[in-house]
A and B are shown apart, each in its own frame.
Chain A
Amino acid sequence: AQRVTQPEKLLSVFKGAPVELKCNYSYSGSPELFWYVQYSRQRLQLLLRHISRESIKGFTADLNKGETSFHLKKPFAQEEDSAMYYCALSGGNSWGKLQFGAGTQVVVTP
């Protein structure tokens, strides 16, 4: 069965410090992995996806198939990064359908 695990419910970091959000998945094939973000009082939106290999708002994520991980990283956290972050997976017979992790709340303090 496919599963997405985000082990941290809450991550509190100081402004300017590095931040890493962990995401592990279980899937028997080659999934597509995504990070979605939800800022306070805003709707859920795509942050980045592994196939794009891009950096968005200073965030990067590398798909590690050996460790089945897709951790999200940013070297210097900013206060505006405070939000809820969800790792999501798509694959199998239903490309496009997303399976989400439980989410990690990031709080960046000055």
Chain B
Amino acid sequence: DTGVSQDPRHKITKRGQNVTFRCDPISEHNRLYWYRQTLGQGPEFLTYFQNEAQLEKSRLLSDRFSAERPKGSFSTLEIQRTEQGDSAMYLCASSLRQGKAYEQYFGPGTRLTVT
């Protein structure tokens, strides 16, 4: 297991197009998180799953964003009708639930550029 993987690593799209990103967590991890990071800022929480259940969504996640984790393994994040403000690094992380303090393992990120 080489850790959390994300695909694609880079995506350039035109405004108004739909994009989908994939995250493969560490295999035994039951929690999966999505974050967004813009230039000069720390990662901002978007949503997370425990197994296949989506437990929380940030107010940052407008109705153009949807995330799934259908079998409790990989997850997809889809952005519909992309806007230039969606340009950011999208990070995925996974963790094994053990007590309160979960160490999150991050993927390399998908850099989205909306032109």
Pair A45/B42 contact, Cβ less than 8 Å = no
Q: Is B25 an interface residue (CB 8 A)?
A: no
Which of under 10, 10 to 19, 20 to 34, or 35 or more describes the interface residues of B?
Answer: 20 to 34
- The residue in A88, A96, A101, A103 that gathers the most chain B C-beta atoms within 10 A of its C-beta is A96
Q: Is the CB of B22 closer than 8 A to any CB of chain A? A: no
From A6, A43, A88, A100, B107 is in contact (CB under 8 Å) with A43
Contact yes or no, A49 B109, CB < 8 A: no
The digit string for A69-94, where 1 denotes a CB below 8 A from any CB of B, is: 00000000000000000101010001
Q: What's the minimum C-beta distance from A28 to chain B, rounded to whole angstroms?
A: 16
Kindly identify which residue among B56, B97, B101 contacts A97, using a CB–CB cutoff of 8 Å.
Answer: B56
Which B residues touch A4, using CB under 8 A?
42
Q: At the interface, yes or no: B31 with Cβ under 8 Å from chain A?
A: yes
* A interface residues, Cβ below 8 angstroms from B: 4, 6, 9, 32, 34, 43-46, 49, 51, 86, 88, 90, 94-103
Point out residues on B near A: beta carbons under 8 Å.
3-4, 31, 33, 35, 40-45, 48, 55-56, 91, 93, 95, 97, 100-109
